[in-house]
Each structure stands twice: as C-alpha cells, then as structure tokens.
Structure 1
Amino acid sequence: MYDVNVKYKSGGKSKTYSRKGFLTKKDALQHEAEMKAKLTNPAYTPPSAVQRKMTVQEYMTEWIDRHGSANLRPSTEASYRSHMKNHIFPYIGDVFLNQLSPAMLDDMYRQLAEKGLSQSSVKYAHRIMGVSLEHARRYHYISSNPARDILTKFGKQSKTPDPYTVDQMRQLLAVVMGTEWELIVVLGGLYGLRLSEIIGLRWRNVDLAENTFGVVEQLPFNTPANTTVISEMAPVKSSERTLPITPLVRPYFERHLELQKEQKRFAKQSGNLYFDNDLVFAKPNGSPKRRERISANFGQLLRHAEMPHIRFHDLRHTAATNMHQLTGDFYTVGQILGHSLKGIGIQLQLSNNLEAVTAQYVDVRMERKLYVLNIYHEAVLGSSEKT
C-alpha cells in the first residue's frame, strides 16, 4: 500500500494533505501530482480520465496535428515530425504523459548522444519536448513541465562551418565525379540551389537546347517517405528564376540524363515498375528522393573523403561567398540565389532606398548571370576539364 502526503500553505499557515491506501505506486504518484497542482493553484482543473491515460506519443501526435500546420512553417513541421518519430517516440513514446519525468528526458538525451546524434540534434529534440510539454501544462494535462527541470547541460553551439573555398569545391567535385552525386553537388555548390529546389527540379524545366534551367518549384516538405508518384509540386521558397547552364556544367547534365535513361531501360527490361515523375533526381524506380536521406548521406560522403564537415545547405553559402569574392557583383549573385529585392537592398545597405536598387539593378540580363557563373565555374572546373 502507498500513502500520499502533500505539504502546502493556505492563509499563511502550513498544512498537510494526506491520503492513504493506494494499491500501486503509479496511482499514488498520479494523485500526488494532481493534489500538488490543485493545492498550490486554485484555478487548476484536473485532467480527464482520457488525458490521464494518454501516452507521450499520443499527446505529441495530437499536438503536432493541431499546432503544426497552423503555427509552423511546412519545413519546420516536417522536421518536428521527423525528430519525434526517430529520436523521441522510440525512447519515451509509450510513457504516460503525466508520468514523464525530468530524469526520463535526461536518460533519453544521454542515449541519443551515445547513439552518435550530434549535440545540435539532441538539443533540437529537447526544444520540441519543451514546447509541446509547455502546451500540455497550459492545457492542465500535466501539473508542471518536466523539460524545465532536466539536468542535461547543452554546451555552446559550435559556430557555423566556414563555406568551402574554391580549392575545396574542386576537391569535393573530384571525389563525386562519375557518381550520382556529381550534379547534385554542382547545383548546390556551384549554383547555390536549396536541396528542396534540387530534388524538385524536373526535366521539363531544363532546356539543353537553350542551355538554361528554371527554378520554379520544389518537392513538398510533407511528402511521405514511401511516395512513388508526385501529383503536385510546391512553389519555391524565394523568387522563381531562370539560370544559364554554363559550358563547363553542361556535361554534368548530359551524363545525368544518360544515367536516368539507362535506369528506365533497366526497369523496363527487368519488368519492374518505373514511376516517371519527370524528376531530374529520382530513385532508380523514378520515385522522389528524400531530403533527409540526402543530407545524412552527404555527411557520410564528407567523412569518407576526410573533408571538413558542412551541412548540405552550406553548399549554398559556399556558392554565394565564392561568387561574390570572385566577381564583387552582389546583386547578380543574389538573383542567381533567388534572393528578394528587399534582401539584396539590405545586403547593399540600401534598405531605406529600394527605389535606387530597383532603378539600378532590376534588369539583370541572362548574360550577366552567365558572366558571374562562368567566372566561378572556370575557377572550380576549368583546370580539371582541361587536363
């Protein structure tokens, strides 16, 4: 048998609430938590029987369904769901919500770190727990937020990795030459495309006759992992743009096109289904690639090549930095990257006089983009192409 004794103050006097005879420790702890909240907060409303039996996974799934689409960007919601599925539910998903303790969270964070998850990813999981549990506290599902009382100490975040230099980009492209990675790295590191824009690029938007391609759509962030057919694309995050295919980059497009044709022929000969989504980057059966898998595999690629660690998104910063350092043409670089006029104006310290930016820079010709890209691509690819 278990007893509950709760000390509290009322009217300036110390009092004790007692109740005896609980058959299980679980029932005693649950009653103790409810009475502590009730006796220290007159506005407290006890959770319903359904809420008392709700697991962490049930609550967080309901929470992200209700809170996510209304309050989070699609990319953030997708990231939350991925972390919950892979890094939270396997450890505490079956725990009853009102029994979750700071010690359980500390133990989960320790296991994630021992598993090899980066500190930033462990801290991100804690951030998700903190927000979702705070909402549970406000709804009176729990009396306190256990994420506030953890003992785990997260060190200072390491600084953002430096973008790759021209020499490092040359080294990286030598590593991926002749593999399925080469065009992905070219578009990320030599054009500055976002990963969502790369895996959403379709052949209908690539014009090899005119040596241009359009960045006009991206793969939706909420695409399920087992999706085979894409019915609708999402708009790009920034401005739609048309970019030139430089002479040094054209062979990468041609090789990748031949690789995909070969995959289609193999699928047909072997009697396997091929899902033709018209995607430039697809799995061997034509279905869309997963951005999470590409990001993870990119990290492994760099480790095997013994190159400094950067995220795939840092290739975008690499392209921006190198193009600007080589040409000094901040505005054209911004247009290549799809930056907004306002953002470019701020970068040019003309944010209070955007009319001047408009008059001076808006008419950026394809020739100017080609000029800037040619200089950068020649610096990275020129020597390797000539040898």
Structure 2
Amino acid sequence: MAISSRKVKNRRNAEGVLTGKPGTVYDVYIKYMTNGERKTYGKRGFPTKAQAEKHEAEMKVKLEKPSYTPLLVMNGKQTVKEYMEDWVEKHGKANLRPSTLYGYRGYIKNHIVPYIGSVPINQVTGAMLDDLFSKLYAKGLSHSSVRYTQRILSVAMEHARKYRYIEYNPARDIITKFGKHGKTPDPYTVEQMQLFMANTYGTEWEMSVMLGGMYGLRRSEILGLRWRNVDFENKTFSVIEQLPFKVPPKTNIIKEFAPPKSHGRILPITDTTMQYFLRQFENQQKQKKLLKSAGQEYYDNDLVVSRPDGAPLNASRLSSNFGKVLVKFDMPHIRFHDLRHTAATNMYQLTGDFYSVGEILGHTLKGVGMTLGISSNLEAVTAQYVDVRLERKQTVLETYHNALHMEKSEQKKEKPIAKASRDMEL
C-alpha cells in the first residue's frame, strides 16, 4: 500500500474545484488479494495528503471484505455530460412518463451540463454542486427549478453509486437548504368558485372550469375526455385516458390517446353537473352541423372539450390563456392546475372524507395529504374506507356541488353572466 505525490498544472482545492494553478496531488494505490488472486486498486488526484490517507484507510477495510466489489474505474471517468445523457435515456425510457423524461432532458441540457458537464463523475463533490445551485439562483432560476435540478442530480448520482461507478453520492454532501420558497396560490374558496363558475357560465371555458374545479381532473385528463367514456344512462364518466404529451402543433386528429397518470377511475355525474354535460354535448352537435352546412371540415375526435371544429385544444395555451380569463373577471391569480387543488380542498373541508377525495382525484394518499396540508396518520384517517364505492364518491361530490350551486339564482340576479367568449380558441 502506498501514497504517491505528483505535480499537476491545474490543481484542485480541498473542495475539488479546479484552481487554475499548479500544485501537488496525491494518488492512492492498494494491492490486495481476492479469491487467491492479486489485484490492485487505485484512485488519483486527492488535493491533500490527509484526504488520500483517509481514503486509503477506508479502502483497506472494504477490500478486506469478501463482499466488496471494486469501483468500475473506467465508467467513473465518464464526464457528467456523458453519464447524464446516457443515464437519462436508459433510466428515463424505462421508468419515467414522457412528460417527465422531456423535463429531465431539458434540465440536464440547460442547467447541469453547461456548468459541470466536463467534470468526471468520480470527481464531482458536494461543494461543486452547491456552487452550481448558487449560479442557477444568480441566473434567475426559480427555487422550484433549482430544487428540481438537485433532485435529478441526486437520483442520477445515486444510480452511479449503485453501479459502482463512484464511491459515494456527492448530492448527499451539499449544504444548500431547499426549504419551501415562495407561496403556492391559495385554492379558491366555495364562494370564489361560485363567482368564477357564474362568470364562465355559457362561455367556452365552462366545461373545462367545471371538470377542473368541481371534479379535480388534471388538465390532460380534461382535454382527453371523450364522449364514449361518458355514460348518460348510468350517470357516470370514466377517466381512463388523457391527451398525449406534446401533441404536435396544428394536429387535428388524435390517433392514439395516452393512459392517465393514475390507473383510471369512474366518477358519478351529479344532478348539478349533468346540465353541463348535456349542454356541452348539444352545443358541439350544433357546431358540427353548422360547420358541415358551411362546407367546413369537422375533426371528430369525440372530445368533450375541443376547438369549435373538433380539433384538440393546445394544453400550454389553455394554461396561458387561463390567466387572461382571471384578469378579465378580476379573479385572484391561480394556475389552471390549482382548480384541482380547489376541488380537493373544498371537498375535504365540506366532508372530512380524506380517502374518498383521493379516490375521486385519482391521487395517492400521500399526494392528497400534501395538497391539503395534512400531516396526520393516514391509516387512522382512512381506516373506515378500505373500499370507496361509487355511492361514497357520489355523496362527497354532491355535497360539494350542491354547496356551489345552492344560491345560483341569486348570483345570476346580482351579477350578469358574461357573454360567450372566444378566449379559448387555441
């Protein structure tokens, strides 16, 4: 066993950051026996002799254990760029949803590779990552984006550790604190939701706002809901598919829909919401007839929410135009996704039925708890609801929907309903 020193032109400091100055580094070489064979382990480039000696002592213990597997040195020499790009393709295609994979690729390309892409993965340190996060903040990146960058790095480096490319996960050694920064918009109260429903009543936003704010459907689930999955006779609809991720611009026909994020669910159509479904169906039939009479093509995707010609709505523009609608009606700012939070919060506050709300949303219990800010014992909260049946969902939804519409006639008298708007023509 030996530690040797050598001169380099660009020495790293104690934190592993290149200084641009010449200096001395230390290399560790260990000879050991395994299965009757002589082998050599080595690691180069320690900035101080103390670090080299510490590593030598740790490796001596590990190498004497029969179960120890030496690091795959060549793979550890990959740069962060090489490793991350290869990792996201192999890991992502097998384990991530298309939208998540798309996001990972973008974060790696824009927020990781430009800063530490050329560094070998076995030389990445916690200090380097803290410096990376500091630069991202200085660049103007939001707290949630920097936190997401850290999450991607942490997962990727943990996989490299398990593959034996590196000894430890440097993302565990960071000192950057990622507490909750910024305030998520408060969901609308029942009264605010009543006002918003009154304002969008009779407009092209009506159905989207109803499905998001009264049932808590996700944006992609709303845009991917088809009439074939609406059962008027049994007063239910099934959330079993959604609009595919990244529909190309000017797409008129959706040939294949994607499965929903959850495993799918059947939801009751209450007496309150039945009028919305029937009115939407009737309006679409009239649009279809008028377009054909005018010699225009109608793209029959069977969508419940669509453009006037039946083509799918653009999801991103839906979200961006949603903000304009709020400004128009002088409503507090929320994101379109916060309609889902609104439905979850109001249903829970009115019924206290945590588990049924989760089933209606197609959400994990942990996810619902985070949305509602509940930190109680989930087993105790949900013990009486082992199997949430359609009747229970009906009770929860009717309680909420009736609360929204109990003073509907008075609202119409106090505030005139807005005329049909074309804000939603995306």
Using the size of structure 1 for normalisation, the TM-score is 0.65
Give, as a single letter, the amino acid of the residue that structure 2 aligns with 1:243: P
- Give, in whole Å, the separation in 2 of the partners of 1:260 and 1:112: 48
Give, as a single letter, the amino acid of the residue that structure 2 aligns with 1:229: I
Give, as a single letter, the amino acid of the residue that structure 1 aligns with 2:45: K
1:225 aligns to what?
Answer: 247
Task: Identify the match of residue 318 of structure 1 among 322, 342, 348.
Answer: 342
1:187 aligns to 2:176 (yes or no):
no
Structure 2 segments unaligned to the other structure (5+ residues): 12-18, 28-42, 60-69, 369-376, 415-426
Q: Conserved in 1, the CA contact under 8 Å of 2:88 and 2:104?
A: no
1:84 aligns to 2:108 (yes or no):
no
1:250 aligns to what?
Answer: 275
Q: Could you report, residue by residue, the CA deviation over 1:132-160 in whole angstroms, capped at 9, with x for unpaired residues?
A: 23434555667876655667554434566
Task: Identify the match of residue 399 of structure 2 among 343, 354, 372.
Answer: 372
Q: 1:218 deviation in Å?
A: 2.4
1:108 aligns to what?
Answer: 136
Residue identity over aligned pairs, in percent, reads 37
Q: Conserved in 2, the CA contact under 8 Å of 1:63 and 1:132?
A: yes
2:87 aligns to what?
Answer: 63
- Give, in whole Å, the separation in 2 of the partners of 1:105 and 1:328: 40
Q: Conserved in 2, the CA contact under 8 Å of 1:248 and 1:378?
A: no
2:6 aligns to what?
Answer: 17
1:200 aligns to what?
Answer: 224
Name the CA shift for 1:352/1:229 in 2 (closer, same or farther; >3 Å): closer
Higher alpha-carbon Rg? 2
Q: Conserved in 2, the CA contact under 8 Å of 1:248 and 1:381?
A: no
* Secondary structure in 2 matching 1:123: helix
Q: How does 1:10-159 map to 2 (within 5 A)?
A: 15-18=4-7, 35-36=44-45, 40=55, 43-47=70-74, 52=78, 56=81, 59-72=83-96, 74=97, 78-85=99-106, 87-93=107-113, 95-96=117-118, 98=120, 101-102=128-129, 103-113=131-141, 117=142, 119-136=143-160, 139=163, 147=171, 153-157=177-181
Q: 1:63 deviation in Å?
A: 1.6
Name the CA shift for 1:377/1:136 in 2 (closer, same or farther; >3 Å): same
Q: Conserved in 2, the CA contact under 8 Å of 1:332 and 1:372?
A: no
Q: 1:291 deviation in Å?
A: 5.0
Name the CA shift for 1:289/1:121 in 2 (closer, same or farther; >3 Å): farther
Stretch of structure 1 that moved more, 300-309 or 222-231 = 300-309
* Secondary structure in 2 matching 1:79: helix
* Secondary structure in 2 matching 1:96: coil
- Give, in whole Å, the separation in 1 of the partners of 2:322 and 2:217: 15
2:371 aligns to what?
Answer: none
Name the CA shift for 1:80/1:309 in 2 (closer, same or farther; >3 Å): farther
Q: Conserved in 1, the CA contact under 8 Å of 2:215 and 2:397?
A: no
Structure 1 segments unaligned to the other structure (5+ residues): 1-9
Larger helix fraction of residues: 1
- Give, in whole Å, the separation in 2 of the partners of 1:366 and 1:136: 45
Q: How does 1:333-352 map to 2 (within 5 A)?
A: 336-337=360-361, 349=380, 351=382
* Secondary structure in 2 matching 1:167: helix
- Give, in whole Å, the separation in 1 of the partners of 2:112 and 2:89: 19
* Secondary structure in 1 matching 2:120: helix
- Give, in whole Å, the separation in 2 of the partners of 1:63 and 1:258: 49
Q: Conserved in 2, the CA contact under 8 Å of 1:196 and 1:219?
A: yes
- What's the RMSD between the two structures over aligned residues? 5.1
Q: 1:201 deviation in Å?
A: 0.9
Task: Identify the match of residue 276 of structure 1 among 278, 289, 300.
Answer: 300
* Secondary structure in 1 matching 2:188: coil
Q: Could you report, residue by residue, the CA deviation over 1:171-218 in whole angstroms, capped at 9, with x for unpaired residues?
A: 33345445443211111112233334322210122355x483412312
Kindly tell me the number of residue pairs found equivalent between the two proteins: 352
- Give, in whole Å, the separation in 2 of the partners of 1:194 and 1:380: 27
Q: Could you report, residue by residue, the CA deviation over 1:197-255 in whole angstroms, capped at 9, with x for unpaired residues?
A: 322210122355x48341231216x6343265242442572562242253566247525
